[in-house]
Amino acid sequence: MSYEKNLLQMKKLIKKKPAKAQSLAPFVIPPKPRYTEDWEKAGLTVIENDFGVVFEKKKIYKPNQIHGKFQLNEIFEAFNLWNSFQGVHPISTDNHQVVFFDTETTGLKGTGTYIFLIGKLVWKDGHFEMTQHVLADPSHEAAFLFASELWKPNLSVITYNGKSFDWPQLQTRWTLNREHLPKLPDPSHIDLLHASRRVWRDELSQFKLTKIEEEKLGFKRVGDIPGHLAPIIYLDAVKSGNPATLLKVLHHNEWDIMSLLTLFIHTTKLLLQEEYKDTVVTSTNIGKWFFDLKAFEKSQNVFEQITDQYDPVQAARAFYYLGFEYKRLKQVNNAYKAFEQSLVHLQDVLKIKAYEELAKIAEHFQKEYEVAICHVESGLILINNSIQLNTNQRIRLSEAFNKRGKRIKKKQTISWESAGFDRK
């Protein structure tokens, strides 16, 4: 009998014992913190549930409430714009309950880092409602997480850096309490940090929310606490029982969430309202974003508006990307003109690529080999002189351009000989 058959027979003789079901110990509700009454007097409400207590603060905003240069009810105009948008976009909304969401934590990472504040802004019963939950102490974490109601289905959360920070932190804390809490779903998630980087790339020097508030949203904070002090303030409030400074952290969190809503309004209008303008850099970035998403009709429309409204120097990048759009549509003459006009004010890497595209069109479509060689030589000069390229880039690009130049010259020779010309 073969070795394999022996193993199979022995396996049948082994009797598996049924696994014993592990019963969880009943959840023991921890006692209320000693400072519960003091925090209530400061304006926080104590909410009790099956897992303990959590402190809560609610605030109501009228639809016409102003934050910066926006009314909150402009959010419905933004939603309508996305509902009428024919396509898919990373910040497009669906028909789920939209929640503007932000957290404050005791640290940046690790299982020892707690979320101590969860803030949410939603539309409810004809008004905007801000709900902030504060962790009573670590023993009440299950109560705190359950009170957030983020376990409810059909939510769309909008955050600022939430995909990289807030939501992963929430998942970590939820996992540590998963024996007692409902399962945390994976909601649709719009992260406005990524959107801001796409829209204001090469225009803003940094992408802190407070910077965007001042530069783009018309809002400047007065009396705000620095975000990095929030963990210290919370831990001191728990230790001392005095929540006075902690309430300033809640105000900081409130401003963060209000600005999330107005940032969503502003970004949506920039993307979808043709008459709603920012700067030529912003508009070009928006067109490029649609181009990358293969929303070519939208991107072409954006780029053509830019090239019509701005001088060639300001519109150089728009001409550059428009060249690729025309090339995709096989409008090679328009593509050639667009790449040619883009040369006036491009960064070296893009300008080198523009010379390459011009050489391709002249070689393959126009059969103007002498012109194609000129573009190759112009590209080589830029490659050799550019301080924006590292050594590896310079070597790689030089090899590619020299190879292209040799091939074009060979085609040129064949063309002359077929026409009866002797180069000698």
Three-state SS string over the chain comes to: CCHHHHHHHHHHHCCCCCCCCCCCCCCCCCCCCCCHHHHHHCCCEEEEECCEEEEEEEEEECCCCEECCEEHHHHHHHHHHHHHCCCCCCCCCCCCEEEEEEEEECCCCCCCCCEEEEEEEEEECCEEEEEEEECCCHHHHHHHHHHCCCCCCCEEEEECCHHHHHHHHHHHHHHHCCCCCCCCCCCEEEEHHHHHHHHCCCCCCCCCHHHHHHHHHCCCCCCCCCHHHHHHHHHHHHHHCCCCCHHHHHHHHHHHHHHHHHHHHHHHHHHHCCCCCCCHHHHHHHHHHHHHCCCHHHHHHHHHHHHHHCCCCCCHHHHHHHHHHHHHCCCHHHHHHHHHHHHHHCCHHHHHHHHHHHHHHHHHCCCCHHHHHHHHHHHHHHHHHCCCCCHHHHHHHHHHHHHHHHHHHHHHHHHHHHCCCCCC
Q: What is the pLDDT of residue 403?
A: 96
Ranges of each domain in the chain: 36-272, 280-418
Into which CATH architecture does domain 280-418 fall?
Answer: Alpha Horseshoe (1.25)
Amino acid, single-letter form, for residue 311 = D
Q: What is the pLDDT of residue 14?
A: 47
Q: Are strands 188-191 and 155-159 parallel, antiparallel or unpaired?
A: parallel
Backbone angles phi, psi at 279, to 5 degrees: -125, 170
Within 8 A by CB and 6+ apart from 188, the residues are 94, 96, 155, 156, 157
Q: What is the pLDDT of residue 183?
A: 95
Tens-digit pLDDT profile for residues 11-65: 454 445 554 444 456 788 999 999 999 999 999 999 999 999 999 999 999 999 9
- Residue given tokens 């001088």 in the structure block: 311
* End-to-end Cα, the chain, rounded Å: 85
> Which of 15-19, 292-296, 375-379 is the least confident region?
15-19
Q: What is the pLDDT of residue 413?
A: 87
Distance CA 267, CA 82 (A): 11
Distance CA 364, CA 222 (A): 61
Distance CA 377, CA 364 (A): 17
In percent, how much of the chain has pLDDT > 90? 85
Distance CA 286, CA 290 (A): 6
Distance CA 208, CA 252 (A): 14
Tens-digit pLDDT profile for residues 397-412: 999 999 999 999 999 8
pTM over 0.85: yes
User: Which class for 135: exposed (0-12), middle (13-18), buried (19 or more C-beta within 10 A)?
Assistant: buried
| 167 has a pLDDT exceeding 90 | yes
Task: Tell me the sheet residues that pair with 132.
Answer: 57, 119
Q: Are strands 97-105 and 155-159 parallel, antiparallel or unpaired?
A: parallel
Q: Are 146 and 195 in contact (CB under 8 A)?
A: no
Tens-digit pLDDT profile for residues 181-210: 999 999 999 999 999 999 999 999 999 999
Residue 88 pLDDT grade (very low, low, confident, very high; cuts 50, 70, 90): confident
| 3 has a pLDDT exceeding 60 | no
Into which CATH architecture does domain 36-272 fall?
Answer: 2-Layer Sandwich (3.30)
Distance CA 297, CA 119 (A): 39
Tens-digit pLDDT profile for residues 172-181: 999 999 999 9
Q: What is the pLDDT of residue 231?
A: 95
Backbone angles phi, psi at 366, to 5 degrees: -90, -15
Distance CA 328, CA 372 (A): 20
Distance CA 220, CA 414 (A): 68
Residue 328 pLDDT grade (very low, low, confident, very high; cuts 50, 70, 90): very high
Q: What is the pLDDT of residue 27?
A: 81
Q: 335-362 burial, b for 16+ CB within 10 Å, e for fewer?
A: bbebbbbbbebbeeeebbbbbbbbbbbb
